[in-house]
Chain A
Amino acid sequence: MSIDATKTREAAAMPPPGTASTKKRVPQGHKRLLTRRDRITLGFMAGVPTVLHVALVWVTALASIALAFTSWDGIGFSSIKWVGLDNFKQLFTDNPQFWPAVEHNIIWFVVLIAVPTPLGLFLAVQLDKKIRFSRVYQTAFFLPVVVSLAVTGFVWQLVYNPDTGLINSLIGANKPGHYIDWIGDPHLNLWAVLIAASWRHTGYMMILYLAGLKGVDPSLREASSLDGANEWQTFKNVIFPTLRPTNTVVLVVTIIEALRAFDLVFVFNKGAQGTELLSILITNNIIGESSRIGYGSAIAVVLLVISLAVIIPYLIATFRKERRA
């Protein structure tokens, strides 16, 4: 990294080629532009972050990949035992929570794409029309995004509480016989949490689309209205296609949200029956007084592989586009 930075700076500072005095000046200019002191400073400025990045991101990531093939309780390095693929075998065959967790992460993604994303787009389009109190609505819809998910989880838990919560109190579903257990029933609780997650995600999507819509050239709208297009036709054929870059961002953001889903569920019911998520399984196995670090790492590796399967195609597509441009 440091070498790269130096080179770029040199290259930028070099006088354009073709000037008569170039040959003579280069060695001198090199000295004058980058003294020993500067090089050391630059070395540190690039080197320290590099070291930090490597130590805190790459070393830890690689270490957890390595640990996924071991059994370790976190007490002393001598207790690390190589177990090969055992953790994965156990995970795929014996762990009753693993496949539900994978499934729930996928459902999480599908729901976020199917419900709050179109809803956010819809709200953004409405707000973009400069209606009255537009800012008030904007703030109201965006508010859930500002609040931490842990707090969101806490608030929704009050709404869903089967005994004293808002919903059951209103519809009288907190008596024996006709009892709706929003938090404990595995057929309900995932959807209950997803409503809370969508509530928040809608605002997030709305802001992204609103920003995208601000970038739409007004002359396009004008042209389409001159052509006699109605509102829906304008949106479908003119506005939406120009939102393409925003859609890419939205897709990536939603995938990330689905993979990192954790806090809401953890506060809601700690990922018990019906709301298992990969991130929660990792936490349950690694954090604690006698932890199963190897096993937890194996789950983390699975999550990493899933993330890479999404990230790599995205990066390839992005770079290809840049190269073309």
Chain B
Amino acid sequence: MRLSSPGQPLPGTSRRAVLRGLGGAALLGAGIPLLSACGGSGTASDPKTVTLGSNASDAVPKKAFAEIYAAFKKQSGITVDVNTKDHNTFQEQINSYLQGTPDDVFNWFAGYRMQFFAAKGLTTAIDDVWAKIGDNFPDAMKKLSKGADGKYYFVPITTYPWAIFYRKSVFQQHGYTVPTTWDQLVALCKQMKKDGLVPIAFGDKDAWPAMGTFDQINFRTNGYDFHVELMAGKVSWTDAKVKATFDHWAEILPYHQDGSLGRTWQDAAQTLVSKKAGMYLLGSFVAQQFTNKADLDDLDFFAFPEINSAYGQDTVEAPTDGFMVSKSPKNHDGVVKLLEFLGTPEAEAIYLKADPSVVAASSKADTSTYSTLQKKAFEMISGAKSLTQFMDRDSRPDFTSTVMQPALQKFVRDPKGVDGLLSSIERQKKTIFASS
């Protein structure tokens, strides 16, 4: 419309309509960070509304969160205006989303991923919220919720552990015992191979499962502090300690399932379901593949065995999901109230009732409705001295996705070339971490 000529009006409505359409297209083109255009800015000044950007696009979590927001409205009278995006799209567009006009609160992950945006000034510190909810969480969770500057930026809600999963009946049938040390694990692998089983199920087609294996072996070999420093780019990948991690990995790699680079984690999990594989190192979401109730009851897990007695089994990999506050929320008071509510054991209980595949981040949550597997996972996490997230949550995602994913796949395929691989990782790491 603003394109119509200053002189005489344009003749012919159709032509004008075309021009108007073109003008519209031009305006659209200008608003390319599309996500940012979707923020609930219309309800900006309403003190009774908090806007929330959600990545919970799957049916189960979406419904679970909706129930939490309904309970919050009942308690406080504040409406949560949810703006749901497809899970992966949300992640890919988070950058432009936070720079545009984001919602007041948004779903995000703990760890470096959270600290990165906090350090960029795209989110708000919430020490005031933590003054109230601090008692609900164990120390490991508190550590996870802080930015690099020591302030709180994150409210955790759910988490799940990584461990070695197995079927009780298979262990019973062959008389295996749960290994607690590295040597026992290697011996068990050998025995399973002899018994005609695939000792460790493995599928790395999506490139991230290998990261989980690396994490486990690395913090068992070198401890939590070294692992975190390595992830933060502070230690060299050519360090002898990292080499030791890969040496351990190479020792058990022959016991992993053949052809892992062409297999998804779901297919790998099926070999555990069908009792062809003896063990599987994965997050507890592996239970989703056990659709038969009897199979699910047969599923159990143990913590990754000790490699270095100085560290024992004190670290647990437990990716944690939760909430952050955008740069300048329109309804700050409402946001504080919402986050305080989300940090209560009650809110977690509402969530877990609807989604039993994860456990509560809070140590005070009601565990009475938990399944045996959930209870064990909860104990493992609350008993941990340190929690890691996952390689792509503990380190710069651009580094992990463009360098580490292909590098680990290369290692899995050819473990002999590890020296060249590590120096290649280190060279690429330096330029990426130097960039900002």
Residues of A within 8 A of B (CB): 36-37, 40-41, 44-45, 48-49, 51-52, 55-56, 71, 73-76, 79, 81, 86, 90, 94-97, 160-164, 176, 179-186, 189, 269-270, 272-273, 284-285, 287-292, 294
| Residue B5 lies at the interface, judged by CB distance under 8 Å to chain A | yes
A75 touches B99 (CB 8 A): yes
Q: Give the distance to chain B from A88, nearest Cβ to Cβ, in Å.
A: 12
Q: A48 contacts which chain B residues (CB < 8 A)? A: 3, 19, 22-23, 26
Q: Give the distance to chain B from A107, nearest Cβ to Cβ, in Å.
A: 19
Nearest residue (CB) in A for B427 is: A94
A285 touches B261 (CB 8 A): no
Q: B409 contacts which chain A residues (CB < 8 A)? A: 272-273
B432 touches A52 (CB 8 A): no
- On whether A37 and B5 interact (CB within 8 A), knowing A96-B410, A269-B262, A288-B398, the answer reads yes
Q: A76 contacts which chain B residues (CB < 8 A)? A: 99
1/0 per position for B237-260, CB-CB distance to A under 8 A? 000000000000000000001111
| Interface segment out of the listed B88-96, B145-153, B304-312, B318-326 | B88-96
Q: Give the distance to chain A from B289, nearest Cβ to Cβ, in Å.
A: 14
What's the Cα separation between A186 and B409 when bound, in Å? 11
- On whether A272 and B402 interact (CB within 8 A), knowing A37-B8, A74-B96, the answer reads no
What's the Cα separation between A86 and B198 when bound, in Å? 46
What's the Cα separation between A264 and B109 when bound, in Å? 31
| Residue B401 lies at the interface, judged by CB distance under 8 Å to chain A | yes
| Residue B47 lies at the interface, judged by CB distance under 8 Å to chain A | no
What's the Cα separation between A49 and B435 when bound, in Å? 38
Most buried by B among A74, A90, A273, A287: A273
Q: A79 contacts which chain B residues (CB < 8 A)? A: 436
A290 touches B19 (CB 8 A): no
- On whether A181 and B95 interact (CB within 8 A), knowing A176-B198, A270-B207, A288-B397, the answer reads no
- On whether A184 and B261 interact (CB within 8 A), knowing A37-B10, A52-B29, the answer reads yes
B26 touches A284 (CB 8 A): no
Q: Give the distance to chain A from B47, nearest Cβ to Cβ, in Å.
A: 30
What's the Cα separation between A73 and B120 when bound, in Å? 11
What's the Cα separation between A37 and B12 when bound, in Å? 12
| Residue B122 lies at the interface, judged by CB distance under 8 Å to chain A | yes
- On whether A292 and B7 interact (CB within 8 A), knowing A95-B428, A184-B261, A272-B205, the answer reads no
What's the Cα separation between A63 and B120 when bound, in Å? 24
Q: Give the distance to chain B from A285, nearest Cβ to Cβ, in Å.
A: 6
A181 touches B436 (CB 8 A): no
| Residue B15 lies at the interface, judged by CB distance under 8 Å to chain A | yes
Near A by CB (< 8 A), chain B positions 377-422 give 396-398, 401-402, 405-407, 409-410, 413
27 intermolecular pairs with C-beta atoms under 8 Å apart: A36-B7, A37-B7, A40-B10, A52-B26, A56-B29, A73-B435, A81-B435, A90-B428, A94-B427, A94-B431, A96-B407, A163-B270, A164-B267, A179-B258, A181-B259, A185-B259, A185-B261, A186-B413, A272-B409, A288-B95, A288-B397, A289-B95, A289-B113, A290-B396, A292-B398, A292-B432, A294-B435
A86 touches B262 (CB 8 A): no
Q: Give the distance to chain B from A94, nearest Cβ to Cβ, in Å.
A: 5
B262 touches A185 (CB 8 A): yes
Nearest residue (CB) in B for A43 is: B5
B435 touches A273 (CB 8 A): no
A96 touches B406 (CB 8 A): yes
What's the Cα separation between A15 and B346 when bound, in Å? 86
1/0 per position for B1-35, CB-CB distance to A under 8 A? 00101011011000100010011011001000000
B427 touches A73 (CB 8 A): no
Residues of B within 8 A of A (CB): 3, 5, 7-8, 10-11, 15, 19, 22-23, 25-26, 29, 91-92, 94-96, 99, 113, 116, 120, 122, 198, 204-207, 257-263, 267, 270-271, 396-398, 401-402, 405-407, 409-410, 413, 424, 427-428, 431-432, 435-436
Q: B204 contacts which chain A residues (CB < 8 A)? A: 184
Q: Give the distance to chain A from B195, nearest Cβ to Cβ, in Å.
A: 13
B92 touches A289 (CB 8 A): yes
A162 touches B263 (CB 8 A): yes
Q: B407 contacts which chain A residues (CB < 8 A)? A: 96
Say which residue of B5, B120, B122, B260 sits within 8 Å of A40 (CB atoms). Answer: B5
What's the Cα separation between A181 and B26 when bound, in Å? 48
Q: Give the distance to chain B from A234, nearest Cβ to Cβ, in Å.
A: 47
What's the Cα separation between A153 and B49 when bound, in Å? 45
Nearest residue (CB) in B for A97 is: B406
Q: A189 contacts which chain B residues (CB < 8 A)? A: 262
What's the Cα separation between A71 and B431 when bound, in Å? 10
B95 touches A290 (CB 8 A): yes
What's the Cα separation between A44 and B96 when bound, in Å? 32
Q: Give the distance to chain A from B229, nearest Cβ to Cβ, in Å.
A: 19
Q: A44 contacts which chain B residues (CB < 8 A)? A: 3, 5, 19, 22
Say which residue of A41, A272, A294 sits within 8 Å of B261 (CB atoms). Answer: A272
Say which residue of A52, A74, A162, A284 sits within 8 Å of B95 (CB atoms). Answer: A74
B397 touches A289 (CB 8 A): yes
What's the Cα separation between A37 and B9 when bound, in Å? 8
What's the Cα separation between A291 and B435 when bound, in Å? 11
What's the Cα separation between A37 and B15 when bound, in Å? 12
Q: A51 contacts which chain B residues (CB < 8 A)? A: 26
Nearest residue (CB) in B for A179 is: B258
Q: A71 contacts which chain B residues (CB < 8 A)? A: 435-436
A75 touches B23 (CB 8 A): no
A-B pairs, top 4 by smallest CB distance, nearest first, are A184-B261, A184-B262, A183-B262, A181-B259
Q: B15 contacts which chain A residues (CB < 8 A)? A: 41
What's the Cα separation between A79 and B121 when bound, in Å? 13
Say which residue of B29, B95, B207, B405 sits within 8 Å of A55 (CB atoms). Answer: B29
Q: Give the distance to chain B from A272, nearest Cβ to Cβ, in Å.
A: 6
Say which residue of A74, A269, A292 sits within 8 Å of B402 (CB atoms). Answer: A292
**Other 10 A-B pairs with CB < 8 A, given A36-B8, A96-B407:** A36-B7, A52-B25, A73-B435, A90-B428, A162-B259, A162-B263, A270-B207, A272-B405, A272-B409, A273-B409
Q: Give the distance to chain A from B256, nearest Cβ to Cβ, in Å.
A: 11
Q: Give the distance to chain A from B244, nearest Cβ to Cβ, in Å.
A: 23
Q: B92 contacts which chain A residues (CB < 8 A)? A: 287-289
Nearest residue (CB) in A for B19 is: A44
- On whether A290 and B398 interact (CB within 8 A), knowing A81-B435, A94-B427, A94-B428, the answer reads yes
